[in-house]
Structure 1
Amino acid sequence: MVRIKGEGKVYQKLRTNDDLNYRYLLHLEILMRQGKHFYMEEQVFPFVCKTKEGKTIHRLVEITTDQAAPQLALLESEVAEETRFSYDRMSAVQYAENWWNSYNPAYRKFDVDCTNYVSQCLKAGGAPMWGAPNRSKGWWYQGGSWSFSWAVAHSFRWYLSGAKQGLKGLEVHTPQELAPGDVICYDFEGDGRFNHNTIVVAKDSEGMPLVNAHTNNSRHRYWSYEDSAAWTPEINYKFFRIGET
């Protein structure tokens, strides 16, 4: 870690009696070095600042999957006819870079937006949707409605494990096997329930993935998320190469 630059942006100010509450986003730019190779990692964290009795307290706002995600549904286990699609990885990565710290008005924004964001990136890369209007079937977004697999981290992970048509992925064993445009799924507690998804947008000098994500918006973040408050030693990852079966 060579240099850190931070900038805060207040988006809400609340007064209660003599107390003031500010909600702001802290945008960090972190210059990383690996040998002779440099890259810029960016992260955005939501904070609340409270002033009470002459004291100022800054606190990171914790966002959990349960705040905005719909109820999980069992995905259908039927085997569909296998089809192939052409995946434009460059277009998926370009979309991920364009919208990593903003929100496309063509889609609904979720408080927990990680899977919705990854789904949009994959769609921009040409991944075909199917299953509408059944929310527990396929992977799709249509007219302000969506499948559970489109927006719920756990459902998306299990959809990728079994999909035989539309969007498909091949599970691989190591992050080094991934390329830009591929996906990583995270079970932070190691309890079998997946909480987060990211899209690979680049590789570092050692061939390890750098990822973009929403919720706590991040750009070119190291794939393992060991710097996350949600990380635990029991974390479980799933690695998917998109467009392959």
Structure 2
Amino acid sequence: MKKILLLSLAIVMLSFLFTTSTINAENITDMDQISVAKGQINTYLYALNHSLVDDTIQKNIRDLVDNSNLTLLNYITGRHSIYSEWAKNNNVKFTNVSVNIDNGNIKYDKGKIYANLSTTTAVTYEYMSGKGSGVPNTFKFSEIHSLVLENKNGVYKVIEDNFYDPLRPDLSEDHVNRKVFDYNIDNNIASNALMNQKSIIPNSYKTVYYQTAAAAAYADKWTDNSGSSGTTHNPNYNYYPNNDCANFVSQCMGDSNAGNLPTDGTWYPYSLAWINADSLYNYIVNNRGWLRAYSTSTSYLDSYAKQMKVGDLVFYRWSTSGSTKDHVSIVVAFDSAGNPLVDAHTNNRWHYPWSLYSSNTTFWLVGVNASVTVPQNQ
């Protein structure tokens, strides 16, 4: 790993030097500017994601960002600290990072480069001792970046990088505003989603089974489309940029091709309980037929995590005070040590360690029953 990271750093710095020399050429065209900036963008994004696990790159990435953007520079340091702390607390070492960059739209205007693009980063880690040690575990996450670079003394430097990341405290995912019907909902999509529910059999009660394997498969399909074309959200449902977490988890639980749990008058596509993390939590916890168990006590989180099952949920608040849930994910698998891995929107996370967040995060681990008895009209 040391050799790989040192080589990575050398590539980053060589690319930086190449950019420095190229931009000083006279009579450079707009397309030349874009070409040069594209190399710098790739260098920056490569370094940004490798800096999560590498101290040296984390320090040297400051050469790629303009000093005027202290928020971004402090964020880069803070995100590295979260990964470092999690690795230490879990006896983990990171062994590899790879970044796939879709350059998207890039334009040049009056000495600045504007770029909108997406990245998918894969991170591999191993436990250093105990159960599952030495076995590689890989998770992925995606980001959409809106970048601005400016020519500073012959070198393009990043002056803005606006992107959503739950690890970034100043851009944490706000739970969907309770004025939910202010959203411009496509009624045709809503109808299609409702039609995905199975037809009702005319008896008074029925037992329904939570199809957890199908829920996990659905979650995987709509978080990681690596190597395939198409979107990473189901087009049969509305999508809420930066606020799609509960909508996504509800689909995993309720779509007939996924968990197949029945909707009712409170929980149905685009209801508050469907698209709002806090309301979804209250719906499940107050619906005793659904709730298996839950834990929010810090002392018991790790031990309860070992008891979680595929299809269970993890709720988050981006602070240690208060009780409103800001985010939710669904358990889809377990790593080599038996710790839960989750999928989530937004941004997309695939097989992500459930606890890899800031120490300021509050967690609620919620177990969902595999079968429940409900009125026949649900």
TM-score range, shorter chain: 0.7 to 0.9
Mapped partners of 2:277, 2:150: distance in 1: 38
Structure 1 contact 161–170 (Cα < 8 Å) conserved: no
Higher share in helix: 2
Counterpart amino acid of residue 310 in structure 2: P
Following TM superposition, by how much is the alpha carbon of 1:205 offset from its aligned partner in structure 2, in angstroms?
A: 2.3
Higher share in strand: 1
Q: 1:139 aligns with which of 245, 261, 267?
A: 267
Are 1:161 and 2:285 an aligned pair? yes
CA-based RMSD: 2.4
Counterpart amino acid of residue 291 in structure 2: G
Percent of aligned pairs sharing the same letter: 22
Following TM superposition, by how much is the alpha carbon of 1:16 offset from its aligned partner in structure 2, in angstroms?
A: 5.0
What are structure 2's unaligned runs of at least 5 residues? 1-93, 128-132, 165-170, 181-203, 225-231, 296-303, 373-378
Q: Rg: which structure is higher?
A: 2
| Structure 1 partner of 2:125 | 32
| Structure 1 partner of 2:259 | 125
What are structure 1's unaligned runs of at least 5 residues? 74-80, 132-137
* SS of equivalent residue, structure 1 residue 201: strand
Aligned pair count reads 220
Q: 1:56 aligns with which of 157, 162, 165?
A: 157
My pick for the range that moved more, 174-183 or 12-21, is: 12-21
Residues 1-53 of structure 1: per-residue CA shift (max 9 Å, x gap): 11111011133445554422112212111122231322221111222321223
1:85-234 equivalences in 2 (<5 Å): 85-101=208-224, 102-111=232-241, 112-123=243-254, 124-131=258-265, 138-141=266-269, 146-164=270-288, 168-173=290-295, 174-190=304-320, 191-226=322-357, 231=358, 233-234=359-360
CA distance 1:20–1:41, change in 2 (3 Å)? same
Counterpart amino acid of residue 19 in structure 1: K
Residues 164-220 of structure 1: per-residue CA shift (max 9 Å, x gap): 46xx23332321121111110001213222111111111122221011111111111
TM-score normalised by L of structure 1 = 0.80
Counterpart amino acid of residue 178 in structure 2: Q
Mapped partners of 1:200, 1:150: distance in 2: 18
Are 1:9 and 2:122 an aligned pair? no
Q: RCO higher in 1 or 2 (8 Å CA, sep ≥ 6)? A: 1
Mapped partners of 2:223, 2:360: distance in 1: 28
